[in-house]
Chains A and B, each alone.
Chain A
Amino acid sequence: MQFYRPARNIRLEQDYTADFSKTYPVPKNVVSILRTSCYDCHSNNTNYPWYSNIQPVRFYMDSHINEGKEELNFNEFRTYSKRKQNSKLKAISKEIKGDDMPLASYTLIHKNAILSNNQKQEVINWINTLENNEYPNNKQILQN
């Protein structure tokens, strides 16, 4: 079992042009929160800790990462249609508010990823400023 080593979620050529932070003028504090608490599962680059070399930890982690990326990938956010971007923004807000994200199993180990009420509010408030998420009128979307 220990010999089974699937490819890691790491992309060395880091192409950030489609990243979330390039889709809107995201304030630095929100970018920082998302990177710390979300990007491990919701991007193309995971920071693998030493114990990720051990099975079945690796299985568990990979399934989280695969599901996470499928649901939402911050690195590819700009490639989503405006409609989908809007749906995802709404989902991010709801998941953080309801404490469903980040996953408890993740924050158990990654204490720095736990979102304080302040941090949650910062992210949610910023999402709310995007013109009530009305995607056709979303004036803050950066021009291509």
Chain B
Amino acid sequence: MKKIILSAIVMSFVLVSCNQKNKQEETVNASTNTPETVKVNPNSFSIKEIVTDYLSLKNALTKDDSNATADAGKAMVTTLGKIDMKKLSGAQMKTYMDIADDLKEHAEHIGDNAGNIAHQREHFVLMSKDINDLVATFGTDQKLYQDFCPMADEGKGAIWISEVKDIKNPYYGSEMLTCGSVRKEF
């Protein structure tokens, strides 16, 4: 009994100290990572959730999971509907809406096509371009990579955005998982 209590105390101590460490790292990152393009109050407008949905979608495609891909598409549509644009300037809002309108359509199509992964991948080409432009305009506080697959989109080549440096191809999934290269880092 004593051992359990002791180990519980040790565990909680470890967990608490780990959390403290993470918090310190986060504040350091936030101050060094502010991109010049962003003059936006980060507390009210953020593309973070959109990017998170995109990454789930991308990861589902790498696993050839059409249903999970569709779910992520639907989640993105919901997220896009909840974004607060009030703090953006006129020009920023125009840019954002231009991208978001297109992104929403692609997300809708992807959401409606569970079972048709080829069609989902077609829309993923332009969705990735939209996400790329969003990140380029509004910045990111997580490390992101722009990857390129030369054979995607009927040989025209296509990009995707990834949170990991390892190449996991969403256009070909298990068929050619490691095909592609990192082209840019955000």
What is the size category of the interface that chain A forms with chain B? under 10
What is the size category of the interface that chain B forms with chain A? 10 to 19
Within 8 Å CB of A84, what residues of B?
Answer: 101-102, 105
| Nearest CB on B from A89, distance (A) | 11
Q: Is the CB of A90 within 8 A of B156?
A: no
Say yes or no for A36: interface residue by CB 8 A criterion: no
Q: Is the CB of B126 within 8 A of A94?
A: no
Say yes or no for B147: interface residue by CB 8 A criterion: no
Given A87-B126, A90-B126, A81–B102 Cβ distance below 8 Å?
yes
Given A87-B105, A87-B106, A132-B156, A94–B122 Cβ distance below 8 Å?
yes
Given A90-B126, A94-B122, A132-B156, A83–B98 Cβ distance below 8 Å?
yes
Report the Cα distance A44→B63, complex, angstroms: 42
Q: Is the CB of A87 within 8 A of B102?
A: yes
Interface residues of A, dominant DSSP: helix
Most A C-beta atoms less than 10 A away, residue of B98, B99, B101, B102: B102
Report the Cα distance A94→B106, complex, angstroms: 14
Interface string of B90-128 (1 = CB under 8 A from A): 000000001101100110000000000000001001100
Nearest-neighbor residue (CB-CB) of A132 within chain B? B156
Report the Cα distance A87→B99, complex, angstroms: 11
Within 8 Å CB of A83, what residues of B?
Answer: 98-99, 102, 130
Q: A83-B130, A87-B106, A132-B156 are in contact. List 17 more A-B contacts (CB 8 A).
A: A81-B98, A81-B101, A81-B102, A83-B98, A83-B99, A83-B102, A84-B101, A84-B102, A84-B105, A86-B126, A87-B102, A87-B105, A87-B126, A90-B122, A90-B125, A90-B126, A94-B122
